[in-house]
Copies of this chain bind each other. A is one copy, B any other.
């Protein structure tokens, strides 16, 4: 769990004793591609840290599946709109690669907030980061045309373009796979 400890230490100070508490509170979970971390209709019971791998969040909108965003190694993954109030999730989270996670339950996360001296500060800063990213992506879904969304995807996730099937990227951008091919040709034609 060294990567997780290192990421937490980017937010707060952790004593050696507190590192042990963190390691005790998180549990390893391994997913194969296609496995679900969270299924629509169920309650999101964990926050997960991605040690290795890649997941996508998607929603079923009028029977049509739409990919809303991606999370990769070193990021926290959770549907907070289900996790925080502990109500049924409207989104699913699915692994796209063999994915190694460290997960913490709602109850254990409250313990982390209490038992680590800067636990509450970590909670505030981590949630600020996760929500900022979620809101920026949702705002973009609403305001940016597909070309801009694709260019932003390339800019923010240059390494993911090889790791994600084209139809998921097209769904994320909000267009059909054929239209994505046309956008890609147009962009590469400019170079």
- Across-interface contacts of A113 in B (CB, < 8 A): 121, 124
Q: How far is the CB of A128 from chain B (nearest CB, A)?
A: 5
Main secondary structure of the interface of A (DSSP, over half): helix
The complex is assembled from copies of this chain, and their number is 2
- Across-interface contacts of A127 in B (CB, < 8 A): 124, 127-128, 131
Q: Are B84 and A128 in contact (CB under 8 A)?
A: yes
- Across-interface contacts of A80 in B (CB, < 8 A): 128, 131-132, 135
- Asked if A152 CB lies within 8 Å of chain B CBs, one says no
Q: How far is the CB of A68 from chain B (nearest CB, A)?
A: 8
- Asked if A139 CB lies within 8 Å of chain B CBs, one says yes
Q: Are B142 and A142 in contact (CB under 8 A)?
A: yes
Q: Are B131 and A85 in contact (CB under 8 A)?
A: no
- Across-interface contacts of A131 in B (CB, < 8 A): 80, 127, 131, 134-135
Q: How far is the CB of A175 from chain B (nearest CB, A)?
A: 15
Q: Are A139 and B138 in contact (CB under 8 A)?
A: yes
The CA-CA distance from A142 to B139 in the complex, in Å, is 10
Q: How far is the CB of A176 from chain B (nearest CB, A)?
A: 18
- Asked if A97 CB lies within 8 Å of chain B CBs, one says no
Q: How far is the CB of A189 from chain B (nearest CB, A)?
A: 25
Question: Chain A, 58-69, contact with B by CB distance < 8 Å: what is the 0/1 string?
Answer: 010100000000
- Asked if A73 CB lies within 8 Å of chain B CBs, one says no
- Across-interface contacts of A132 in B (CB, < 8 A): 80-81, 84-85
What residues of chain A have their CB less than 8 Å away from a CB belonging to chain B? 59, 61, 80-81, 84-85, 90, 113, 118, 120-121, 123-124, 127-128, 131-132, 134-136, 138-139, 141-143
Q: Told that A80-B132, A120-B120, A135-B135 touch, could you supply 10 new A-B pairs with CB distance under 8 A? A: A61-B143, A84-B128, A84-B132, A90-B139, A113-B124, A120-B121, A127-B131, A131-B134, A134-B135, A141-B142
